Amino acid sequence: MKLLFICTHNRCRSILAEAITRAEGGSLIEAASAGSEPSGEVHPLTLHWLQQQGIATANLHSKGWDTLGDFVPDYVITVCDRAAGESCPLWLGATPKIHWGLADPSVNTTDSGKTAAAFISTINTLKLRIQILGTVLAEQSGAAEIRQTLISLADCYAPAEHT
């Protein structure tokens, strides 16, 4: 299965989702991330917290969805509310779009304790979601069950808002 994670700036949440999916999805899930308005750089704390959790960060970079024309996802997963409301590019066609809304852990960087907790919460949430999805895929579930799992993961395993 191929998942494309979308966040407007492709700087934090979608990068976290891509890296975690690569780490947790094994051979069952291939992941990429992109943004509609990429910032051009990955937030330094995103890389820091991924590395702290032992998740590889090589080859992670902020990119626009127009650079992924050769990547044909089975699902597009938006991870920020702004991206959820955007129209996907034409090359994605009728690819199903699912929203996994996540608060941005990089917005409050003045309190290191809160920032750490926000990143850990987001990382743990994404790990859990991908592990559950991997279990469903390993059971060779049908398309309808996979889609329902992707949808229900957003509601059942939502992290606390970061303030």
CATH number where 29 lies: 3.40.50.2300
Residue 74 lies in a domain: yes
DSSP per residue over the chain, as a string? Answer: -EEEEE-TT-SSHHHHHHHHHHHHSTTT-EEEEEBSS--SS--HHHHHHHHHTT---TT----BGGG-TT---SEEEE-SHHHHTSPPPGGGTT--EEE-----TTS--SSHHHHHHHHHHHHHHHHHHHHHHHHHHHTT--HHHHHHHHHHHHHHSPPPPP-
Structural domain harbouring 35: 2-156
pLDDT of amino acid 51: 96
List beta partners, residue 38: none
Band of pLDDT at residue 111, cut at 50, 70 and 90:
confident
How many domains does the chain divide into? 1
pLDDT of amino acid 163: 46
CB 11 within 8 A of CB 41: yes
Residue 76 lies in a domain: yes
More confident residue, 63 or 36: 63
pLDDT of amino acid 58: 92
Residue 163 lies in a domain: no
Residue 129 lies in a domain: yes
Residue 104 lies in a domain: yes
pLDDT in tens, 125-158: 999 999 999 999 998 888 889 989 998 888 766 5
pLDDT in tens, 42-79: 999 999 999 999 999 999 999 998 888 788 899 999 89
Residue 138 lies in a domain: yes
pLDDT of amino acid 160: 55
Residue 161 lies in a domain: no
Residue 97 lies in a domain: yes
pLDDT in tens, 79-107: 986 655 555 555 566 788 898 988 899 88
